């Protein structure tokens, strides 16, 4: 896949993620994806490769989709979250 094709695919996926969680600022979405990428690769967002970023983005999108499917279950405190380095994740 050419870089321009890859970029278009990633930007489209980011737009879909943004629609699923409008309460998050764009920087928060990128930070979350960066943390997932770091968890999966052991490298910071600065160091992960494009395909690793795409994999972390897909992981986040799949998690959001799964939560959307589970939204019929009552949630006392909202979605389960984990805190890492002071940043709310997923």
pLDDT of residue 86: 45
What is the 8-class DSSP label of residue 43?
A: S
Q: 1 pLDDT exceeds 70?
A: no
The band of 67, judged by pLDDT with boundaries at 50, 70 and 90, is confident
Would you state the structure tokens that stand for residue 14, as one six-digit string?
């980011």
For the stretch 20-65, pLDDT in tens is: 999 999 999 999 999 999 999 999 999 999 999 999 999 999 999 8
Contacts of 5 by beta carbon, 8 Å cutoff, 6+ apart: none
pLDDT of residue 79: 42
Would you state the structure tokens that stand for residue 34, as one six-digit string?
């960066």
Contacts of 82 by beta carbon, 8 Å cutoff, 6+ apart: 89, 90
């Amino acid at each position: 896949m050419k870089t321009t094709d890859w970029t278009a695919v990633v930007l489209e996926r980011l737009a879909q993620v943004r629609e699923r969680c409008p309460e998050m600022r764009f920087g928060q979405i990128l930070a979350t994806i960066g943390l997932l990428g770091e968890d999966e690769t052991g490298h910071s967002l600065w160091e992960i490769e494009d395909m690793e970023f795409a994999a972390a983005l897909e992981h986040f999108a799949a998690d959001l989709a799964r939560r959307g499917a589970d939204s019929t279950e009552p949630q006392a405190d909202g979605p389960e979250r984990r805190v890492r380095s002071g940043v709310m994740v997923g």
